[in-house]
Structure 1
Amino acid sequence: MHEPSLDTSFQNEITEHTLVGPSAHIAHSPRSIILQCGILYYSIRDIPDPPGLSFVHDLSKLDRLWDDSSPQWDRLSPVVIRGVPIAIIHWQTIYCYGHNRWWRGISQKWYQWKFLVAEYRSLSPTGFWCKYCHDGVPLKVTCIMRLQCQARRAEDDAMVTRAHLAYNAEEFAHIFAYRTTGRVTRVMTDARTIAQLYRRILARQC
């Protein structure tokens, strides 16, 4: 895995905050997260408010901020914990388990960014904009996210159809079931949930 180059001052800062055990003064449920540069120990009090961030006019910026294992990582994340910039890919861990109410507020955007950057990288920037253009004019990022969402729904629907064909009604009801808080067993109806479970089943069969 490629490790981004770090200048000396940044390396010293990272070493101080990540490559040692939890500091004694970190109170209130010390937590840790594995970053590309090492392990960062922090507390809930260290977590800043999630920033208001948009990439609708600069998708390359999302590519630079998404993950710290990428050569594009520029360490300019607006989320900084104990002096360490946190790549967007780690925000789910930071906010979901640190401030769940904050995660609920940014989770939809985070997943949209996840799918955007995945396709942006898999196609290359040139291939991405060749795919998402009309009459030679690049589509707006908001339009691209909508098209990606529609494509994912179509893929999920197709996977649900495959699952129904693979099992009879009784088998399907047994495999694709969940229990409510009242411990009542119900059959899944959400296409995304069924599709995710069936993908895991297929992966185990490989």
Structure 2
Amino acid sequence: MWDDTSLHWGRESVLQLQGRPIALVYWPELYRYGKELQWKGIKAPWCDWKFIVERYRRGSREAFWAEFTEENGTYMSYTKIASILRQQRMQADQEIVERAKAEYGDEFDVVFSYRKGNTHRVMTDPASIASKYRSRHPN
């Protein structure tokens, strides 16, 4: 349901256009051009699914469920998996912020800044800083 280029695509989706199923990966393109409140309402769960699918595809099915299985042997819920992944992203972003500050030193305020109107501001949001750092250091 996530991606129509995957072997797992079953040509099924709750969202359809003219009878054709639309994979989740394309939903932002559709919802952004409709009423803005539609995307605001669906963005958070869509992002959770995006990160779950990315983690699932990173390794094998067995590796994914080994990480996201409760002690009693049952699979964790979508909500719990999304929460764990969110915490991991926040921790990774914070580590990148610390690395960026150490790496850039006095230049940090210049490199990790933006303009708002006529004002120059230094980034403070860890996710934004991490995103900019990753764009400057592609693997």
Corresponding letter in the other structure for 2:137:
L
The alpha-carbon deviation at position 98 of structure 1 amounts to 3.2
RMSD: 1.4
Within 1, Cα distance between the matches of 2:126 and 2:15?
Answer: 34
Counterpart-to-counterpart distance in 2, 1:168 and 1:127: 39
Shift of 1:78: 1.2
Aligned to 2:79: 142
- Please tell me whether residue 186 in structure 1 is matched to residue 124 in structure 2: no
Q: Which one has the largest radius of gyration?
A: 1
How many angstroms apart in 1 are the aligned matches of 2:68 and 2:78? 9
TM-score (norm 1): 0.63
Alpha-carbon distance in 1 for matches of 2:98, 2:22: 40
* Structure 1 residue runs of 4 or more that deviate by more than 3 Å after TM superposition: none
Q: Residue 124 of structure 1 is aligned with which of 46, 57, 60? A: 60
Look up the match of 2:105: 168
Match of 2:101, as an amino acid?
H
Q: Secondary structure at the match of 1:134?
A: coil
Q: Which amino acid in 2 is paired with 1:178?
A: Y
Identity rate, percent:
38
Whole-angstrom distance in 2 between the partners of 1:77 and 1:138 = 23
Structure 1 gaps, min length 5? 1-64
Structure 2: give runs of 5+ residues left out of the alignment: none
CA deviation map 1:153-195 (0-9, x unaligned): 00000000110011123x1111111111x33110000000000
Number of residue-to-residue matches in the alignment: 138
